[in-house]
């Protein structure tokens, strides 16, 4: 009994223990289920699991409140790789930068980040306000968790080369250096050039030290030379420039014109002009004309620069491409007069005489003649003055001006030849009624009296007609004039006539300003009476003198003293700031004027706008536009042209719309500058729709569309890429009607546009007409002929190809490797491989070397002709020569030939050889192999091939590979396996976008295997219809309809109608569902005729919906983007239509929603 009692107690205890354990296990299970349901995965795994298929992705679940009472939520699971990549691109395209950054933050710590293109991610972070250091740190943290991201980061510098954000590029380079990954040297070159532009030479040196391996390129050496010049170290600058190899054609881009001018300035100060000019000339560098003029003028103002050195500087400028101009010669002549350099002046006169010859020679103008005569008078060389007079007489058609004649007369008097001076005066000045100035008249009168010519001496005083105030203007004051002298100069002894006193002081200040005599101008301003000096006009004249003579701080103080209300002074201040590149300061002056009720001119706003556009300052651009509108000014054509130049592929849509509105508001007719800028800008951002609208608006205003030939070429090319051949023809005819002669580039663009749109005969006719015109024969070059060859080759008209080729040889048009490859391609497509040998002989005779494309084309031609052995021999021959390495395209061509000949073993051997050569197979390779194995009834091997090649080469099979697998299933009569393949595809996280051809193959396969009801299932899946009463498919979830190929849909409908009663009933239900849910009508073909074309016409609606399924193929094809078209997110909404107009008519383009797989 005791034992029994013990057993009962033990059983009771065991039962209690089991009950407690069961309760704990049940509670744990319930908690786990709740966690999976709300969170989407178990905490035992490092990555959140996927939500159940019936739930929406990204559902948030609230967790328990923390100690602070805040409620935390889990972030949504990262989207699939393709979805994340597409989401970033879509957000970036729409300018939704913060949304793109959010996608990056969700996936950056997962494997999905490896699928992203980091360029739009970085752009989004920059546009969202992140500093470069923050962007780099974010990428560093992501790379620390996913080291494979370094490959993507390494591609960023090349993507950022077109961007103006030098700081961001610098941060990315620093990150790559820390990660031990070398970057493209061109990125360092861009940063060095940016530092040179910002005049930060120390940053240039520091950046050069960071170049991997110290491998400095020639542009880097040149930039180091520019940095050394900015630091004033000429020896180092020349040393770096000497390390740059000789430029074969042009050194443009090695050194900016400002840097060249800086080197010349240093060389001039250190008397090393000859050496510096020789190095710059060796690199074929040029200097900007305006910069050289400023350099020459500034050197001439320095009293320690001898005239000989200025002449050397002038010669250096001519050697660097600066044309010899009168202004430069005037400066050197003035220096010769200052230094009394007689030999230098005579040498300068010799150069002037030589350079003035011919129609394009230097014009010996009046200012130049006066400067040369003044120098001749200073050095006492009458011969130079006489030669200058004769050159001036020839330049002005024998009618020299009175001032030049007077200057020569003064030179005669200075040389002690009074009689000759009197004779010259009576012969040259008196017959033309040219009155001498008082000083000349007085000297002539003295000379006439001394020579006994009493009549002339008495007559001369009466010939002086210039007022005394004019004499004051011609002889500016060098010291402060007494008030009495100013009054005497104006002819008014009283102080009541303030206006005349004001005019005299202004004249004196301006005369000193012209001579860059700031001390004289300051003396004239200081000597004026208070009521005169306080006048706005006098202050404005003195402010202009301050600006012209380099006294900017004095001018700014005077401007503040004036209260910012004088329009003339304010305009001068704006121009001064603009010349120094200070657009913000110039805009502040403009605001002061506007606040004072003044209206600055539109030209100053355009100057400020150009600075902001060059600085890529978007906000600054629109601040200038707003201030201009506040001033009541409408934009001019030049202003809008500058705005159009600011547009880039990164411009936000709102900026594009605002610029379009401003261009449309222009009152005047657009000139060629505006037209060219508009065409270039909107083609650059790929908005042909906007461009067409603007051109129509210009024509409606009556503007003559006088575009230049290159502009016509660009437009023709753009519309050709858009597929609008009508606009191509009309633009060409418009160019002919306007009398614009095409260039070789224009002809090439037109031929390419026609050929690419299958109008080869029209392109041939266009070329023929150009060749018939002797004046235009030269514009048809090798490019145009090669494009014609390509067109006839694509049309498989091999005889026409050789006819064009014969015409090229007859006219002596040079043929290059591309030309011969095009001819070989025509032979391959037309199965005319017997002509290949002759083409190769011509190719070798012309000196052109066969390339990899040559051999690939020959191999492809032999395979198309069925001669796989010859194709393989071509491959072996190329490998034996050792000059070229076969690529994937060549292997794929021969593999395709093996597939057509059902040579499985040869194909597999070729695949192994391809792997050994290190060439990774592509989806094209995979498609060929799958097709071959399917036809050989080796379906299992085909499936295994897809698995092996995909895993070994990190390859994601595309829809073409899966379509070939489907066809293999049907060839092997395995219908269920085809449906299993479909289900496996659509359940993948990275499911490739399926298209209407895929579902067409699936539907046809069902019909071939006598399963029309399964074909009905395929149609329902493709059109996202609910399951039918006899359907074996599950209910279809929501999603965009993909559709079935029209012909396949017709075959399914015909098979159902002609089948048994069950099939006919299925047809009725399917037809009703398609009509009700998708608007597709499966009409009876007999009602529209019994022909296949009539049946296809009856299924036009079905074809339209099926066309939506082809969107992915059209989207992946490289085509010209016609602007941003918003896609409909709802499958029931019709796809949007964008009207794209050429200058004459418009074309409708549909944007089709992407066919997403069934979830």
- 564-575 pLDDT, tens per residue? 778 888 888 888
Which of 757, 830, 739, 762 shows the shortest CA–CA distance to 793? 830
Task: Specify the DSSP element, H or E, that contains 1067.
Answer: helix 1061-1073
Three-state DSSP at 1139 gives strand
The confidence score (pLDDT) of residue 1126 equals 30
Phi, psi of 646 (to 5 degrees): -80, -10
The residue count for the chain? 1159
Report how far residue 190's alpha carbon sits from residue 160's, in angstroms, rounded to the nearest whole number: 10
The confidence score (pLDDT) of residue 1158 equals 24
CA distances from 9 to 187, 526, 689, 971 (A): 85, 124, 91, 73
The confidence score (pLDDT) of residue 33 equals 66
- 649-698 pLDDT, tens per residue? 788 888 888 888 888 877 666 776 777 788 778 878 878 777 777 777 77
Q: Are 365 and 326 in contact (CB under 8 A)?
A: yes
Report how far residue 792's alpha carbon sits from residue 803's, in angstroms, rounded to the nearest whole number: 10
The confidence score (pLDDT) of residue 79 equals 46
Q: Are 411 and 376 in contact (CB under 8 A)?
A: yes
3-state helix, strand, coil in the chain (%, to 5): 65, 0, 30
The confidence score (pLDDT) of residue 1089 equals 31
The confidence score (pLDDT) of residue 127 equals 77
Report how far residue 1138's alpha carbon sits from residue 215's, in angstroms, rounded to the nearest whole number: 51
Which residues fall within 8 angstroms of residue 677, CB to CB, at 6 or more apart? 640, 641, 642, 644, 645
Token pair for 820: 């011969």
Which residues fall within 8 angstroms of residue 426, CB to CB, at 6 or more apart? 456
Q: Are 546 and 579 in contact (CB under 8 A)?
A: no
Report how far residue 1057's alpha carbon sits from residue 1069's, in angstroms, rounded to the nearest whole number: 12
pTM of the shown model? 0.44
Q: What is the DSSP string of 738-803?
A: TTPPP-HHHHHHHHHHHHHTT-HHHHHHHHHHHHHSTTTGGG--HHHHHHHHHHHHHTT-HHHHHH
Which of 765, 699, 706 shows the shortest CA–CA distance to 739? 706
Which residues fall within 8 angstroms of residue 642, CB to CB, at 6 or more apart? 606, 609, 610, 613, 677
Q: Are 368 and 330 in contact (CB under 8 A)?
A: yes
Which of 758, 813, 766 shows the shortest CA–CA distance to 790? 758
Helix ranges (DSSP H) in 243-340: 257-269, 273-282, 289-301, 307-319, 326-339
648: left (phi over 0), alpha (psi -120 to 50) or beta: beta
Report how far residue 441's alpha carbon sits from residue 455's, in angstroms, rounded to the nearest whole number: 14
Cα dihedral sign, 878-882-886-887: negative
Token pair for 105: 């933050």
* Angle 532-538-540 from CA coordinates, rounded to 5°: 150
Helix ranges (DSSP H) in 563-636: 567-579, 583-595, 602-614, 618-630
Task: Specify the DSSP element, H or E, that contains 1121.
Answer: none
Token pair for 603: 């030209």
Q: Are 546 and 552 in contact (CB under 8 A)?
A: yes
Which ranges of the chain have pLDDT less than 70?
A: 1-6, 15, 20, 22, 28, 30-82, 158-166, 213-214, 247-254, 358-360, 397, 464-498, 667-669, 672, 699, 701-706, 1028-1039, 1083-1159
Query: If 0-12 CB within 10 Å is exposed, 13-18 middle and 19+ buried, where does residue 774 land?
Result: exposed
Which of 305, 198, 1140 shows the shortest CA–CA distance to 683? 1140
b/e code 29-64 from CB counts within 10 Å (16+ = b): eeeeeeeeeebbbeeeeeebeebeeeeeeeeeeeee
């Amino acid at each position: 009994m005791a034992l029994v009692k013990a057993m009962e107690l033990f059983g009771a205890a065991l039962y209690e223990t089991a009950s407690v354990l069961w309760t704990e296990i049940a509670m744990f299970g319930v908690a786990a289920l709740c966690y999976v349901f709300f969170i989407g995965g178990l905490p035992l795994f490092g990555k959140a699991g996927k939500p159940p298929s019936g739930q929406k992705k990204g559902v948030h679940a609230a967790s328990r409140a923390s100690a602070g009472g805040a409620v935390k939520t889990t972030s949504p699971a990262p989207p699939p790789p393709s979805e994340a990549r597409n989401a970033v691109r879509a957000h970036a395209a729409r300018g939704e930068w913060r949304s793109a950054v959010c996608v990056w933050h969700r996936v950056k710590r997962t494997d999905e980040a490896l699928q992203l293109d980091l360029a739009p991610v970085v752009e989004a972070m920059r546009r969202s306000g992140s500093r470069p250091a923050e962007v780099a740190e974010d990428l560093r943290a992501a790379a620390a968790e996913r080291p494979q991201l370094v490959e993507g980061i390494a591609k960023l510098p090349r993507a950022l080369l077109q961007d103006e954000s030098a700081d961001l590029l610098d941060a990315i380079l620093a990150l790559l250096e820390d990660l031990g990954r070398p970057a493209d040297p061109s990125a360092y070159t861009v940063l060095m050039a940016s530092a040179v532009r910002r005049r930060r030479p120390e940053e240039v040196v520091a950046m050069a030290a960071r170049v991997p391996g110290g491998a400095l390129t020639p542009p880097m050496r040149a930039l180091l030379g520019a940095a050394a010049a900015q630091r004033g170290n000429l020896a180092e600058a020349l040393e770096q420039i000497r390390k740059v190899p000789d430029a074969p054609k042009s050194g443009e881009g090695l050194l900016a014109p400002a840097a060249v001018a800086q080197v010349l300035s240093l060389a001039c100060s250190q008397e090393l002009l000859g050496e510096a000019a020789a190095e710059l000339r060796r690199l074929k560098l040029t200097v900007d004309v305006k910069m050289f003029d400023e350099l020459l003028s500034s050197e001439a103002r320095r009293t320690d620069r001898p005239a000989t050195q200025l002449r050397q500087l002038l010669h250096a400028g001519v050697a660097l491409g600066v044309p010899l101009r009168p202004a430069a010669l005037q400066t050197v002549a003035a220096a010769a007069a200052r230094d009394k350099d007689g030999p230098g002046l005579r040498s300068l006169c010799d150069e002037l005489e030589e350079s003035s010859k011919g129609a394009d020679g230097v014009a010996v103008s009046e200012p130049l003649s006066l400067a040369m005569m003044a120098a001749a008078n200073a050095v006492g060389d009458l011969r130079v003055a006489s030669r200058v007079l004769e050159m001036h007489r020839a330049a002005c058609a024998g009618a020299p001006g009175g001032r030049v004649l007077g200057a020569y007369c003064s030179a005669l008097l200075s040389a002690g030849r009074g009689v000759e001076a009197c004779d010259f005066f009576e012969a040259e000045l008196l017959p033309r009624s040219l009155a001498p100035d008082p000083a000349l008249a007085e000297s002539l009168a003295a000379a006439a009296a001394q020579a006994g010519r009493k009549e002339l001496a008495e007559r001369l005083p009466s010939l002086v007609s210039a007022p005394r105030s004019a004499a004051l203007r011609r002889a500016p004051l060098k010291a402060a004039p007494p008030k009495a002298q100013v009054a005497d100069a104006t002819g008014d002894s009283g102080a009541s006539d303030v206006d005349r006193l004001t005019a005299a002081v202004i004249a004196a200040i301006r005369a000193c300003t012209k001579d860059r005599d700031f001390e004289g101008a300051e003396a004239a301003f200081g000597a004026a009476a208070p009521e005169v000096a306080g006048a706005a006009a006098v202050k404005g004249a003195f402010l202009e003198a301050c600006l012209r003579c380099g006294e900017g701080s004095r001018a700014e103080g005077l401007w503040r003293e004036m209260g910012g209300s004088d329009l003339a002074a304010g305009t001068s201040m704006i121009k001064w700031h603009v010349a120094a590149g200070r657009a913000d300061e110039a805009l502040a002056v403009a605001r002061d004027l506007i606040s004072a009720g003044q209206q600055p001119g539109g030209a100053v706003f355009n100057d400020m706008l150009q600075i902001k556009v060059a600085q890529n300052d978007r906000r600054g651009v629109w601040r200038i536009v707003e201030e201009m509108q506040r001033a009541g000014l409408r934009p001019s054509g030049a202003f809008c042209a500058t705005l159009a130049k600011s547009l880039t592929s990164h411009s936000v849509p709102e900026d594009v719309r605002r610029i379009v509105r401003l261009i449309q508001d222009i009152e005047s007719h657009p000139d060629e500058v505006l037209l060219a800028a508009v065409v270039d800008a909107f083609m650059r951002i790929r908005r042909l729709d906007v461009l067409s609208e603007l051109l129509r608006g210009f024509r409606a205003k009556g503007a003559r569309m006088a575009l230049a030939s290159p502009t016509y070429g660009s437009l023709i090319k753009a519309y050709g890429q858009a597929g609008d051949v009508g606009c191509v023809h009309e633009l060409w005819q418009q160019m002919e009607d306007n009398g614009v002669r095409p260039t070789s580039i224009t002809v090439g663009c037109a031929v390419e546009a026609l050929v690419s749109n299958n109008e080869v005969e029209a392109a041939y006719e266009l070329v023929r007409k150009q060749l018939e015109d002797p004046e235009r024969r030269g514009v048809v070059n090798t490019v145009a002929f090669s494009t014609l060859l390509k067109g006839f080759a694509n049309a498989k008209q091999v005889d026409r190809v050789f006819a064009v080729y014969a015409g090229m040889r007859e006219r002596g048009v040079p043929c290059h490797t591309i030309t011969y490859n095009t001819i070989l391609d025509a032979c391959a497509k037309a199965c005319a491989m017997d002509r290949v040998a002759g083409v190769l002989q011509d190719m070798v005779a012309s000196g052109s070397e066969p390339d990899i494309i040559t051999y690939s084309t020959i191999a492809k031609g032999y395979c198309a002709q069925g001669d796989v052995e010859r194709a393989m021999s071509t491959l072996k021959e190329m490998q034996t020569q050792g000059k070229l390495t076969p690529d994937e395209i060549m292997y794929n061509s021969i593999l395709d030939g093996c597939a057509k000949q059902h040579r499985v073993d040869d194909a597999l051997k070729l695949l192994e050889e391809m792997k050994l050569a290190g060439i990774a197979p592509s989806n094209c390779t995979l498609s060929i192999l799958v097709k071959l194995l399917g036809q050989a009834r080796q379906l299992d091997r085909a499936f295994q091939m897809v698995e092996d090649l995909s895993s070994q080469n990190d390859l994601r099979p595309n829809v073409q590979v899966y379509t070939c697998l489907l066809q293999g299933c049907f060839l092997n009569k395995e219908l269920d396996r085809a449906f299993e393949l479909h289900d496996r595809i659509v359940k993948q996280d990275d499911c490739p976008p399926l298209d209407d051809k895929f579902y067409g193959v699936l539907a046809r396969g069902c019909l071939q295997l006598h399963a029309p009801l399964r074909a009905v299932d395929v149609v329902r899946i493709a059109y996202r219809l609910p399951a039918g009463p006899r359907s074996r498919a599950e209910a279809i979830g929501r999603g965009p309809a993909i559709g079935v190929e029209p012909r396949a849909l017709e075959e399914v409908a015909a098979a159902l109608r002609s089948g048994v009663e069950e099939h006919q009933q299925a047809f009725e239900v399917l037809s009703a569902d398609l009509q009700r849910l998708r608007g597709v009508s499966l009409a009876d073909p007999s009602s529209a005729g019994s022909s296949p074309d009539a049946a296809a016409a009856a299924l036009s609606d079905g074809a339209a919906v099926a066309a939506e399924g082809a969107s992915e193929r059209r989207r992946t094809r490289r085509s010209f983007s016609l602007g941003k078209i918003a896609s409909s997110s709802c499958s029931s909404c019709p796809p949007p239509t964008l009207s794209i107009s050429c200058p004459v008519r418009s074309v409708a383009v549909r944007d089709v929603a992407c066919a997403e797989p069934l979830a």
